Amino acid sequence: MISSRRTVKKLLLGHNDLGDDGCAVLFTFLGSQIGQRYPIAEISLNSNGIGNQGLLAISHYLVGNAHLKELFIQANAFKGDAHVTDSFVKAVNSSRLQALSVTINGELGDTFAEYFFPALNCRSLKELHVSSIGMTPRSVPHISAYLRSPERCYLQTFKCNGNQLGIKGVTSLVRVIGRSNYSLTTMEFYANELPESASDMVEYVSDNGSEESTEPTIIPNSNLWTECRSKQNRISIRNATFKREVEHQALQLLRYARTSLLHVPLAAGRIMEGESLPTRNLEVPRRTFPFRYLPTELQLSILSLLAPLLSSAQRLRIFQYASSPETLPPLIPRLGSAGTSHKCLPDPGKMNFATSPKLGQLWKVEGGNSQCGTGQCLGVSNSMSCTREQARSEWLDKMGCTVYDPR
């Protein structure tokens, strides 16, 4: 069925009872020379009775995969195994996955958490679902260490519902996120209450309680959960606000840094590449911008004032990008490869279908002339982003400016 189509972007094969054998056949084909013709971006294999052998087949396909962005393998028959988990997390780290869900695989348990979270280091991974996989309080330290690591955790969404972490475990994780994590804007820890046999009262101690002289406080579970939920909401609002401001300041800084730091004349840089330029671009300016006479350190210090929320490392990456002629866009638009399109979609609400004499030309809107400076071409509902918005997102991610960095 796949080979009969010219283009396949999504594989939604839920509830097909593939099992290990069917999963192995599927991913053997996808990894073959014929299967690699299809840049599949999303795979959903929910409720297929896939076990660890099937997960190994998925792992083999994931290694070095730059096309797959979303992988949903909920409600299968995976079991916690050190070797299988190690192979899987290494494959995830080498891929470009953005969303991963292993929800409702109850036999993964603490063994999965013990080997998965300490090794997880996938910069592109923004969304992770590990609900109902049988984790207990033993998994909390492994999850905590991952969430507090800005070098490894780039998640924006983390769903960990229906496990057995306990109210103390959930409270500890929320406290860690509040102190050390600025990327998460959506987090869920529902249905993680203590077992019925446990006490109704829990001890509330800070994560670094050994370094503090405060005494533990005894708080009822119900009140502690309410306080925990309120803190989650505050953290989400804080991180989302920081994210918007960091991205805004990064784009603003690029605009001024490009003008101030790019010392190589545009015409000279492009003549070396053999591209023709209008005569007006060959004119040499009579006067140099006085700002460029300042020492480099002073120039960078002044420009840094335009983006006070960015860290030194984030600003330095932007300065390096802005000062390099190699990062300038080409003067002549590039031809798209077969089967790809770089056109923007116009806003249907602004089309005058009744009076336009050339209805057939309305959809021929190129990315460079689409008048979509805001990056939102398809209506005010922002239901679809144009190529300019995608380029902005990719640039921000490359610069590491999608999250507040307090370091």
Which stretch of 110-114, 128-132, 284-288, 342-346 has the lowest confidence by average pLDDT? Answer: 342-346
Give the span between the Cα atoms of 396 and 246, in whole angstroms. 9
**Hey, which residues does 201 pair with through a beta bridge?**
220
What mean pLDDT do residues 10-17 have? 92
Asked if the model's pLDDT at residue 372 lies above 60, the reply is no
Asked if the model's pLDDT at residue 338 lies above 70, the reply is no
Q: Among 397, 229, 254, which residue's Cα sits nearest to residue 324?
A: 254
Asked if the model's pLDDT at residue 201 lies above 50, the reply is no
What mean pLDDT do residues 142-171 have? 96
Q: Which run of H or of E encompasses 221?
A: helix 221-261
Q: Which domains, ranges and CATH numbers included, belong to the chain?
A: 10-198 (3.80.10.10)
Asked if the model's pLDDT at residue 288 lies above 70, the reply is yes
Q: Which pLDDT belongs to residue 131?
A: 98
Q: Among 43, 79, 84, which residue's Cα sits nearest to residue 60?
A: 84
